[in-house]
Structure 1
Amino acid sequence: MPDRALSLGDLIDMQIRQSGPMSLATYMGLCLTHPTRGYYRTADPLGQEGDFITAPEISQTFGEMIGAWIADLYLQMGAPDRFTLLELGPGRGTLMADALRVATRATGLGEALDLRLFETNPVLAAMQRDRLAAYGPVWIEDVEHIHDVPLIVIANEFFDALPIRQFVKRGGKWFERSVGLTDGQRRFGLSPTPYAEGLIGEAFATAVEGEVAEIGLAAQQFMGQVCALIAPRGGALLAIDYGHERSGPGETLQALSRHAYVDPLARPGAADLTAHVDFEALARAARMAGLNAAPLVTQGRFLASLGLVERHAALAKANPKRAEALAAARDRLMDPDQMGTLFKVLCAHSPGLRPAGFAV
């Protein structure tokens, strides 16, 4: 059978047969970023016709609030003659288009802007090109490829899609979860060799038999890498995602296809695999890189502090026929029983800056 006829599932099964079970992190990495068959390499996953909807696609006001945040930070940094604005996982370019429509109202920001987009999906990159052409974006697949100037980083629903490792407590020891084959079917299993308990971390010391330690090592490493770039240049990173405030036992791996939860092992590369972000671990990585980490806030509180409610009221007044739809979008972004509490906002920033939206 020629290679081009093999599905990603076929390739994964072949690798397991040849080398034995693979870690969950390896499996997630293949599912999401395999060069030719990975989920984030082949199609547009967003919108009603895709698998999920992100906040920028719900309302233009989400990106507008981010734009106001960027402009405020740019002015706090002394309105440098040149700065880099980097978005991690820019989707269709909707967030950045809405943000820059607002941010470039700040005197000098448009002229100083060096826009970089960290993207690996050619379908999405084409959409970003259409929306952001006026700002001269540059696409990168390595975050090190930026100028030595102040740096602002935006990451909306980026860290949740980085591979995680899971460890299960059995008989007082930790064993890493793996993906193997049983009777030709993919199944979760455990490594036969226990993992050193000291490497799991104190946050999981109270775990009982059968509980899971879910560790986003890739997210922590990526956070540290980006924050280490910011530290000598000055600037900040804004991360918005669903997740938990404190590290602790629990498992959150999920697969989403056509807005419904599916078996994460069933169709590799055809569903989005994600896990809740451990914000405590990300904040720790930022501090280790030399930045401050502002107190974590919920998405609802963050957007309210930036004026989203007032912006929606103004839009509704100007467009009374859209008032009901605008109210629904506002509620979806801010209400505690929708995105308002589950989604949280972390800001890692240079000492001396006071990013908007994080006042204690």
Structure 2
Amino acid sequence: MSDQTRAHRWVGLLLLIGVTTVLLGTVAGSQGWHAWWWSQADEVSRQIVLDIRLPRSLGAWLGGGLLGLAGAVAQGLFRNPLADPYLLGSASGASLGVGTYFSLFGGSAWVMTWWLGLGLTGAAFVGAVLAVILTLLLARGVQQTLRLLLAGVVVGVVLGAVTSMMSLLQPQVLQAMQGFMLGSTAFVGWTACATMAMVLILCVALAWTFARVLDALTLGESTAQTLGVPLRSARLVLVGVISLATGAAVAHIGLVAFVGLAAPHLVRSLVRCTHAWRLLLAALMGGALLSLADVLARVLFAPQELPVGVLTAVLGGGYLLWRVYRDTDQSSGAGAVR
């Protein structure tokens, strides 16, 4: 079986898994699994399914898709398997934006009035974008990958320290930000789903267009330049894809850990393919991972609900630890054979 045929099959399988987990999300509630029949459901049950559970489950899949895509682009662009969507400081910028919003307007972590919720989402998105812009200014553009990487780390540390200082000066801000920091899909509505869907389609199209640049970068920047690849414009577009995808996801579901890091690793372990297929598969894998984690977060300790970011951190961290242990064990075995 060729690699392309295997990639096609994994696309179909991951789509099927995504649809299944979204449907499972419609029967997963605060009391665990809730079986219902549409013909026998009352108006309240239908409203719960259509206005709460379905958009939440679909939003989890879309948010995971954005993070998986951003992680695959980041790892290909920086040629670093440890790169994740938050590498350019977007997570710290979003946290600072949310903290600033709460310090100015107050309120609870996930406010219920629509205009205040829109302000919270906008603050997170603006904070993430401004952090990336600050990273680009500090790195003096996108010409040097290493400088861009270091600038993102510095911006993330500095903005994280500012957020911590704000929380110390105003303790109510830290309490209000808890839901955002741990990640939550509980208040994702149809508007958020529409926004994330449009951003996901746009980012997938842009990343797919410049996928051959990521293929060339695997040979090294010097070799890529000799091949006539437009590195400067491609880097700018791909950094924009990472920023837009991460900002949209973080603004709506908070800081969800390890999905953007683990999804590309899983894809690489399952199939060998070019970056064009790897980006699409990483997006589908990220959506499947987060939607499954959202279902588990609702039913594992029902009626108590776990923050989905905590669950993805435990599962994703455990997977990466197992990969490190396995790779180390294989390397030791190969050394012994030699």
- TM-score, reference length from structure 1: 0.21
Bigger share in helix: 2
Bigger share in strand: 1
- TM-score, reference length from structure 2: 0.22
